[in-house]
């Protein structure tokens, strides 16, 4: 029997008083025990806050992103061990792809997004600075800084790897330490994953701790800098959400709980079409992956009345081919539920659904395999509810297994109304080619669903699946689904940080945000900035060019050369009739080109490439006879690799009266 350990204050601690037995989902035999009532949880929280938090906050976003990548690579190299450990949870090799590979993939995505979308800094600026005074000497800027506490992740049994990593990735990237509390039923897989990460040596001390078994009085010791992220049942979520201590101490709490996710067959889709087959395929996959133990699985299949029999027959035919049994066997397509308790729960809930819906398909009773008689196997079950308007259980009772119900609908409006009867879900999917119907669904059902997934033959080859939360997209949903929000790219990183409005002078805000702000004191450049390497450039270094006059001949030459003979540049009377111009004006692109001519240093040097312009604005027309001069300032530096980094320059074009005529940010790659 395996003693599943906890990892607290830098030490592995075995089970003790209060340890709970854990049974194999496949055989029903007890294979492990976990839990120790004597864990030093106060020491654990202190270790996280003082050691883990401090070490993570000392790193920049990019350093933390590199750490995530190293962890992902390490887990990838050892994922076979995670696969092997996962079989006893009832998961098949196909299921491992969702849990193990899905979790590692999430780490990779956050590692990459952290490098590409976050600065190599400690503070995350939120939007541009606001000018709060007339002349720009007093600015406001929203910034995010890491919360100073610890995040306690209470996870569900169904995804022992992904469930941990999808919370851990954004949390570590934010600079906040974690305590992971996996569901006891599958905690031996999480323990192995944590052990791999700790042994990799990539995590600072205190950044990640693990409690297997009960949390003890951990939650009583949290305060307003801490957070609890919960995944699991509606009942436990309610208990924690209303815990007076957590409320009184202002502990942030988010929940992702069970929901009655729906899929809708578009009114435009007929049997025999590619879309019809796609719909049936998605339903079959969602009912059987992880034996239906997925928070996003399809529970309600909404079908236009004329297609009900065709859908029923196609789904039943597909389910008839699903082999159930020992997940280690290659001929088995669907494994077991996680435990005998879950099996009993699913059967009881299926009976409740059966009271108002007819069971139209039930799979084989006996699972394949040796010694599996006491395993937590349940065959797939399909129901048909003839009157979904009168029914309640089909919209409210989540049988957390391979169970789904077909709900006939009259029209598009009825389909949307039925989808919303779940009173909040993680995802609703729609198979349709009809853009108007797709738009109606978003307007009619968007408020009730965390994610709306549309699929048809055009997108099928690349579509990621109804039930697969993508790290880039929000995972969570309103109402019944818990009201929480996870993933969603960098949005999830912000959940672990505090947003503050910071007000002050441009110089102070430049230092705070680690990016130069307009109005900041210019720093003289010792030599042309294009002759200086990435490491030698400092924020705020400013090059001021001489002025250049723009003549009518310049404008005509540019027009002929480029072919841009737009009337505002070529026809004095027509230009004067345009309310934006006094008469003929210079092309905006001419100004950009002349600006480059003014600030560029032509000789071979460390500037390697111009990779783009951001936030370009033309503010005042330039007429023949005006002159322009350029101010080029180092705004932000972002290392990309050992060879070069990105320099973001603030570029201002001013006329002879020092009025800004154009402004933009220029992106260049500069050698290190």
Element spanning 671, H or E:
strand 660-671
Of 156, 192, 487, 669, the residue at the interface with ligand NDP (CB under 6 A) is 156
Q: Residue 531 corresponds to which tokens in the numbers above?
A: 């002759």
Q: Which stretch binds ligand NDP (CB under 6 A): 102-110, 246-254, 255-263, 490-498?
A: 255-263
Q: Indicate the residue among 7 and 437 with the shorter CB distance to ligand NDP.
A: 7
Helices (H), 137-207: 162-174, 187-200
> How far is residue 175's CA from residue 338's CA, in Å, rounded to a whole number?
33
Q: Is 256 in the site for ligand NDP (CB under 6 A)?
A: yes
Interaction mask 96-135, ligand NDP, x per CB under 6 A = ----------------------------------------
Residues in region 203-222 near ligand NDP by CB under 6 A: 215
| Subset of 167-186 contacting ligand NDP (CB under 6 A) | 181, 183-185
Q: Which of 480, 428, 477 is nearest to 265 (CA)?
A: 428
Q: Give yes or no for a contact between 12 and 192, defined as CB atoms under 8 angstroms apart.
A: no
Q: Closest separation between CB of residue 490 and ligand NDP, Å? A: 23
**Number of residues in contact with ligand NDP, rule: CB under 6 A?**
23
Task: Tell me if 239 contacts ligand NDP by CB under 6 A.
Answer: yes
Quick one: 28 or 114, whose CB is closer to ligand NDP?
28
Q: Is 257 in the site for ligand NDP (CB under 6 A)?
A: yes
Rounded least distance, CB 20 to ligand NDP, Å: 7
Extract the runs of DSSP E, i.e. beta strands, from 532-606. 541-544, 548-549
- Which are the catalytic amino acids? 256, 295
CA pair distance 660, 452, nearest whole angstrom: 44
Region from 152-160, 379-387, 404-412, 569-577 binding ligand NDP, contact rule CB under 6 A: 152-160
Strands annotated E in 513-606: 523-524, 541-544, 548-549
Calculate the CA dihedral of residues 465, 469, 472, 477 and round it to 10 degrees: 120
C-beta closer to ligand NDP: residue 256 or 541:
256
Residue 236 interacts with ligand NDP (CB under 6 A): yes or no: yes
Q: Which is closer to ligand NDP, CB of 156 or CB of 441?
A: 156
Site for ligand NDP in 304-363 (CB under 6 A): 342, 345
SS3 (DSSP) at 628: strand
Terminal alpha carbon distance of the chain: 55
Q: How far is the CB of 157 from ligand NDP (least distance, A)?
A: 5
Residue holding tokens 């006996």?
366
Nearer to ligand NDP, 139 or 151 (CB): 151
Using CB under 6 A as the binding rule, whether residue 232 contacts ligand NDP is answered as: yes
CA distance 486 to 342: 25
- Exposure class string for 324-335: b at 16+ Cβ within 10 A, else e: bbbbebeebbbb
Question: What is 411-438 written as a DSSP string?
Answer: SHHHHHHHHHTTSSBS-EEEE-S-HHHH
Task: Give alpha helix (H) positions in 402-527.
Answer: 412-420, 435-445, 490-494, 506-513
Nearer to ligand NDP, 246 or 419 (CB): 246
- Rounded to an integer, what distance in angstroms lies between the CA atom of residue 578 and that of residue 570? 13
Q: 386-393 contacts: CB < 8 A, separation 24 or more? A: 386/357, 386/358, 387/356, 388/418, 388/421, 390/356, 391/356, 391/357, 392/356, 393/352, 393/353, 393/355, 393/356, 393/357
The verdict on 155 binding ligand NDP (CB under 6 A) reads yes
Alpha helix ranges (H) inside 306-359: 308-320, 340-354
Nearer to ligand NDP, 61 or 157 (CB): 157
Residue carrying structure tokens 């250049």 = 548
Q: Which is nearer to ligand NDP, 263 or 339 (CB)?
A: 339
Edge-to-edge strand order for the sheet containing 300-304? 358-362, 381-384, 403-409, 300-304, 262-265, 428-431, 452-455
Query: Which residues lie closer than 8 Å to 102 by C-beta, 6 or more apart?
Result: 159, 161, 162, 468
The piece of 132-140, 198-206, 231-239, 661-669 that touches ligand NDP (CB under 6 A) is 231-239
> Closest distance between ligand NDP and the C-beta of residue 339, in Å?
9
**Closer residue to ligand NDP, CB minimum distance, 170 or 476:** 476
Residue nearest to ligand NDP (CB): 232
For 607, the enclosing helix (H) or strand (E) is strand 607-618
C-beta of 645: minimal distance to ligand NDP in Å? 41
In the bound state with ligand NDP, the residue whose beta carbon lies nearer, of 141 and 158, is 158
The footprint of ligand NDP on residues 409-438 (CB under 6 A) is none
* Residue in 398, 514, 541, 646 binding ligand NDP, rule: CB under 6 A: 398
Q: Nearest approach, Cβ of 281 to ligand NDP (angstroms)?
A: 23
Question: Whole-number minimum distance, CB 233 to ligand NDP, in Å?
Answer: 3
Task: Extract the tokens encoding 367.
Answer: 């699972």
Nearer to ligand NDP, 186 or 636 (CB): 186
Candidate list 47, 98, 144, 157; residue touching ligand NDP; CB under 6 A: 157
User: Which residue reads 């100004």 in tokens?
Assistant: 591
Contact pick of 154, 468, 568, 651 for ligand NDP (by CB under 6 A): 154
CA distance 320 to 310: 15
Interface pattern 277-306 for ligand NDP (x via CB under 6 A): ------------------x-----------
Least distance in Å: CB of 212 to ligand NDP? 8
Selected from 258, 286, 356, 514, the binder of ligand NDP by CB under 6 A is: 258
For ligand NDP, the binding residue among 63, 73, 131, 233 (CB under 6 A) is 233
Binders of ligand NDP among 60-89, rule CB under 6 A? Answer: none
Whether 555 contacts 590, CB under 8 Å: yes
Among 27, 92, 209, 231, binds ligand NDP (CB under 6 A): 231
Give the nearest distance from C-beta 337 to ligand NDP in angstroms: 9
Cα–Cα dist 482/260, whole Å: 12
Strand, coil or helix: 602: coil
Closest separation in Å from C-beta 482 to ligand NDP:
7
Q: Residue 237: name the closest of 417, 395, 106, 398 by CA.
A: 398
CB of 401 to ligand NDP, least distance (A): 8
**Residue 418 or residue 427: which is nearer to ligand NDP going by CB?**
427
- Closest contact distance (angstroms) between CB of 257 and ligand NDP is 5
User: Which positions touch ligand NDP (CB under 6 A)?
Assistant: 154-158, 181, 183-185, 215, 231-233, 236, 239, 256-258, 295, 342, 345, 398, 400
């Amino acid at each position: 029997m395996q003693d599943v350990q906890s990892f607290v204050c830098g030490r592995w601690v075995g089970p003790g008083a209060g340890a709970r037995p854990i049974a194999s989902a496949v055989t029903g035999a007890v294979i492990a025990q976990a839990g120790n009532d004597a864990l030093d949880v106060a020491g654990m929280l202190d270790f996280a806050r003082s050691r883990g938090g401090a070490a993570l906050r000392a790193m920049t976003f990019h350093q933390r992103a590199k750490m995530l990548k190293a962890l992902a690579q390490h887990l990838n190299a050892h994922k076979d061990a995670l696969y092997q450990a996962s079989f006893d949870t009832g998961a098949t090799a196909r299921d491992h792809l969702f849990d193990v590979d899905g979790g590692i993939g999430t780490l990779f995505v956050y590692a990459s997004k952290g490098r590409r979308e976050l600065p190599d800094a400690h503070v995350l600026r939120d939007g541009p600075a606001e000018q709060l005074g007339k002349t720009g000497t007093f600015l406001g800027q929203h910034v995010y800084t890491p919360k100073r506490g610890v995040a306690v992740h209470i996870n569900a049994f169904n995804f022992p790897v992904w469930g941990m990593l999808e919370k851990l990735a954004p949390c570590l990237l934010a600079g906040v330490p974690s305590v992971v509390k996996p569901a006891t039923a599958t905690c031996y897989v999480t323990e192995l994953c944590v052990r791999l990460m700790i042994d990799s040596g990539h995590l600072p001390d205190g950044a990640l701790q693990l409690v297997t078994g009960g949390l003890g009085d951990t939650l009583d010791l949290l305060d307003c800098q801490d957070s609890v992220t919960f995944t699991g049942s509606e009942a436990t979520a309610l208990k924690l959400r209303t815990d007076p201590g957590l409320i009184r101490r202002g502990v942030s709490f988010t929940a992702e709980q069970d929901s009655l996710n729906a899929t809708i067959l578009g009114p435009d889709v007929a049997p025999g079409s590619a879309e019809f087959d796609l719909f049936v395929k998605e339903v079959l996959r969602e009912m059987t992956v992880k034996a239906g133990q997925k928070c996003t699985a399809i529970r309600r299949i909404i079908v236009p009345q004329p297609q009900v029999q065709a859908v029923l027959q196609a789904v039943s035919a597909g389910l008839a081919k699903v082999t159930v049994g020992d997940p280690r066997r290659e001929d088995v397509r669907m494994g077991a539920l996680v435990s005998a308790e879950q099996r009993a729960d699913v059967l009881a809930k299926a009976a409740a659904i059966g009271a108002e819906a007819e069971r139209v398909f039930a799979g084989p009773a006996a699972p394949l395999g040796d010694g599996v008689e006491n395993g937590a196997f349940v065959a797939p079950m399909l129901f048909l509810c003839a009157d979904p308007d009168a029914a309640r259980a089909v919209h409210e009772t989540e049988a957390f297994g391979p169970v789904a119900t077909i709900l006939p609908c009259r029209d598009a409006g009825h389909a949307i109304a039925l989808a919303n009867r779940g009173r909040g879900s993680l995802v609703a999917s729609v198979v349709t080619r009809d853009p108007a119907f797709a738009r109606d669904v978003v307007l009619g059902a968007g408020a009730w669903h965390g994610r709306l997934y549309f699929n048809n033959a055009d997108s099928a080859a690349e579509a990621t699946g109804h039930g697969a939360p993508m790290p880039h997209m929000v995972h969570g949903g309103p109402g019944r689904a818990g009201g929480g929000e996870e993933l969603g790219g960098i949005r999830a990183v912000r959940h672990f940080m505090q947003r503050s409005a910071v007000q002050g002078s441009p110089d102070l805000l430049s230092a705070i945000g680690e990016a130069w702000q307009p109005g900041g004191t210019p720093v003289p450049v010792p030599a042309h900035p294009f002759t200086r390497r990435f490491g030698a450039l400092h924020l705020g270094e400013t090059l001021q060019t001489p002025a250049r006059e723009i003549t009518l001949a310049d404008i005509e030459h540019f027009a002929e050369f480029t072919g841009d003979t737009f009337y505002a540049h070529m026809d004095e009377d027509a230009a004067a009739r345009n309310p934006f111009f006094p008469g003929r004006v210079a092309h905006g692109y001419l100004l950009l080109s002349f600006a480059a001519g003014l600030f560029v240093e032509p000789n071979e040097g460390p500037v390697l490439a111009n990779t783009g312009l951001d936030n370009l604005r033309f503010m005042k027309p330039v007429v023949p006879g005006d002159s322009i001069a350029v101010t080029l300032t180092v705004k932000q530096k972002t290392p990309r690799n050992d060879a070069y980094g990105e320099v973001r320059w603030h570029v201002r074009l001013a006329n002879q009266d020092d009025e800004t005529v154009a402004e933009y940010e220029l992106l260049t790659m500069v050698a290190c």
